[in-house]
Amino acid sequence: MKLLEINSLDLAVPGKNLIKNFNLTVNNNERWGILGPNGIGKSTFLYAMMGLNQIHAGSINICEKKLETYSAKSLAKIMGILFQDYKDAFPITVMESVMAGRYPHMKSWSMYSNEDIKIVEEILKLVNLSDKAYRYINTLSGGERRRVAVATLIVQSPMIWLLDEPTNHLDMHYQINMLDLLIERVQKSNGALLMVLHDVNLLIRYCTHAILMIDSNKIITGKVEDVINRENLQVLYNHPVKQIADNNKQMFFPG
């Protein structure tokens, strides 16, 4: 099934065109990595798919139905997003924060059941935060807060996973640990993943396809082995790139 279909999409923010006439089809079990320089519109693109900001032309279909036909709640069952950053206005506990991910699966008027709590506790174990379940999120470190957000998304368990720089604030161990965990969940859901990354080598490690956002008219899409190469990356970042081969795997570093 086509999980996500984008037809001649135009996206703009006041004073700037971000994306012009863009087409994309995402199927089950595909993992798309999105690369691009700062300010090119990677986050805005993810938000648009989630219906969080307006598109100027074109259409987005989710599971072969128009995005506009979904209510917020029915969309949240299919699609979830990990934001780049979280600003917490109120001190709530880790437990309460992760519990928010259960919302799309609950009926109105119902309260959290013991089953909800069990689900949350299990996932807190996976992100190694069991011992901090009743800590306030504003007392956590940046990396711990990030893992709370990852846990919330896993609790939401969508089919289309949108990740905006998932490795932000995470140390080397947790970068791999969290991405392994997320990808395992994506596969379990038989869904698809789109993630914005700044690390080409992580993209090669985890993604099957890539989107290179060079400018509004020039967006390269394709399989990782076809589009991730030295020439494209140099054009993309306007910066010299070094290439190293390790056991037949290509790795790229800034020159």
Partner 1 sequence: MTFFRRPLVFTSYYFLVIFIFVLIAFLTSLLALSMGSVPISPLEIPELLLSSSDEITHKIIKDIRLPRVISGFCVGGMLALAGCLMQVLLRNPLAEPYILGISSGASAFALFAIVIGISGIWVNFSAFAGAAITVFLVFYLSGLKGKWNPLRTLLTGVVLAAGWGAVVSFLLSISQVTQIHGMLFWLMGDLSLGVFNPASAIVLIICVLFCLFIAKELNLLALGKMSAQSLGVSADKLTYLIYFLSSLLTATAVMQAGSIGFIGLIVPHLSRLIVGGDHVILIPVSVLLGGSLLIISDALARTILAPQQLPVGVLTAMLGVPIFLILLNSINKTQK
Question: Tokens 């506790």 appear where?
Answer: 121
8 Å CB contact between 203 and 33: yes
Among 52, 57, 244, 251, binds partner 1 (CB under 8 A): 52
Distance, CA of 251 to CA of 235 (rounded, Å): 17
Q: Does 99 bind partner 1 (CB under 8 A)?
A: yes
Stretch that binds partner 1, among 26-34, 114-122, 202-210, 219-227 (CB under 8 A): 114-122
CB of 100 to partner 1, least distance (A): 6
Instruction: Return contacts of 127-133, CB within 8 angstroms, 24+ apart.
Output: 127/151, 127/154, 127/178, 127/181, 129/94, 132/94, 133/93, 133/94, 133/95
Q: Does 41 bind partner 1 (CB under 8 A)?
A: no
- Per-residue mark of binding to partner 1, 128-147 (x: CB under 8 A): ------x-x--x--------
Nearer to partner 1, 13 or 244 (CB): 13
CB-CB neighbours of 100 under 10 Å: 13
Nearer to partner 1, 45 or 252 (CB): 45
Nearer to partner 1, 71 or 141 (CB): 71
Q: Does 100 bind partner 1 (CB under 8 A)?
A: yes
Q: Can you say whether the dihedral through the CA atoms of 50, 152, 82, 156 is positive or negative?
A: negative
CB of 35 to partner 1, least distance (A): 23
158-197: contacts with partner 1 (CB under 8 A)? none
> Which is it for strands 209-215 and 218-223: parallel, antiparallel or unpaired?
antiparallel
